[in-house]
Structure 1
């Protein structure tokens, strides 16, 4: 069985996140595989998997900021706010032609910063214990509440005039988005189209970064050598948090659930710290309070990745 660690997968289009998890379970020979944030089947790019006890790190990875490359088509809205949905409404005659590159950029500027966003009705958000998309598929009308998100960067890479179905005019806008966890890029596409009065939906989406992890370091699941590509838990935690090198006795004490005293430590900030043993493995995540530290989550020593 493969040890504990993080796996960076470059998901291809057409695969669900669950498909990738299922394939990884077979490749790694373990049932304990989870992912840090779903990618829609249409989307490609970085999907972060946790294996064995490193699934405990996924909670912390999910909350980090994300970067995406996307293409927004203006001129048509769809039932899912992306290309997989049914057409809902086309722009009024002459409306798309009246949209200039400058008005596109102005609309994007209005969607940058701290905004209130209504997630897509076909998102994975739970409504009374059931996924919103499942309720929509069952014929229910779902309207989700707006929630605060942060779009720290919304950059226009290219604006192209295009022709949609049946010869209708459209505008394709390539963008780069850096945003907080919980931001829906297809909702940005929808809202940009609404703001410009022409409708809009997402036609391409690629996740290029999750926190400190980048898609350039990921590999497709097909033919993936898990043992070769796994990032040991200590390395992954060290990318997310400050590293604290333990003495042998401190490692033993933390493993047994005891607090440790660090006389030269300043007051803690409440932020998790990666506690690393003298042998280089991740003992756990700890929290400093004054000059004492306690375990937030421990990691078993018998699941150290052999990579």
Structure 2
């Protein structure tokens, strides 16, 4: 791991390729040590079993994480048909086995179809969702019955890339494009249930969050070896860019509205990144009637 930074850390966004066996908090802890700051957060938790893209915000750029966490995501996963577990993934205990060898490929594809598009999904019991102020996984591990409400999610792609047949099980390598809040473990569980043989997740890798891909991202031991992505570049990629003058930047930083300027943002677009003539992110602005108003300001020391 890179040595602890001895100079102030500039705000920025860091893409990390998380290995299996580490929690998302473990990665944040390593980043804090490597960069010499405690002001680091992450967008979108990955389970210890999962690998892939974790996005960290450093210093003032943590303010951008709220705009990143809700972005669509892509996962590569392996689903085992013929075995169910109490966690819907390989970290749990096997609760039932059913011979899946007789399943036809066409039947598997047909069962996947209802799990695509806008669907109602019950999250896995072993999840970070809070129930009565406590995490569902804590309640489940304490032996309590946990009932989670179904939620609407969107699965825009659920594609089988490979199919491997064992004596009684079938392993499917799949790729899933989905909205934030989708549980891939729940897709594995529900696919197995629809086929009558049970199913669980044996591998999971997140390869994309919004416009950001895992390709080329450093592992936890390489954090600090390369530059952070600037808040301006990241905000523009996520939200779109609005160039403002120096005077407008000053007004926004002081909490003033840009009167009559709402037409500078397309009617269908939400908040956008306001960037000053020096390429520095001023903040995020949104339409308020005919005006533009700051929805989030960046500290003035933000990196370009």
CA spacing shift, 1:240–1:99, aligned 2, 3 Å: same
Structure 1 CA distance for aligned equivalents of residues 50 and 266 of structure 2 = 43
Equivalent positions of 1:27-66 (< 5 A) are 27-66=34-73
Structure 2 CA distance for aligned equivalents of residues 296 and 217 of structure 1 = 32
Equivalent positions of 1:37-116 (< 5 A) are 37-91=44-98, 95-116=99-120
Contact 2:280–2:302, Cα closer than 8 Å, also in 1: no
**Residue 197 (structure 2) aligns with:** 198
Contact 2:80–2:172, Cα closer than 8 Å, also in 1: yes
**Residue 166 (structure 1) aligns with:** none
Contact 1:79–1:85, Cα closer than 8 Å, also in 2: yes
CA spacing shift, 1:223–1:86, aligned 2, 3 Å: same
Q: Secondary structure at the match of 2:181?
A: coil
**Residue 160 (structure 1) aligns with:** 164
**Residue 2 (structure 1) aligns with:** 9
Equivalent positions of 1:220-299 (< 5 A) are 220-225=219-224, 228-261=226-259, 265=264, 268-269=267-268, 271-299=270-298
Equivalent positions of 1:111-150 (< 5 A) are 111-150=115-154
Moved more, 284-293 or 25-34: 284-293
Deviations 1:81-133 (A, max 9, x none): 00010010111xxx412211111111111211111111000100000111000
Which runs of 5 or more residues in structure 1 are unaligned? Answer: 164-168
CA spacing shift, 1:189–1:266, aligned 2, 3 Å: closer
Structure 1 CA distance for aligned equivalents of residues 91 and 74 of structure 2 = 22
Contact 2:252–2:282, Cα closer than 8 Å, also in 1: yes
Which runs of 5 or more residues in structure 2 are unaligned? Answer: 1-7
Q: Secondary structure at the match of 2:166?
A: strand
Structure 2 CA distance for aligned equivalents of residues 97 and 10 of structure 1 = 35
Pairs aligned (count):
296
Structure 2 CA distance for aligned equivalents of residues 154 and 38 of structure 1 = 21
Structure 1 CA distance for aligned equivalents of residues 117 and 91 of structure 2 = 28
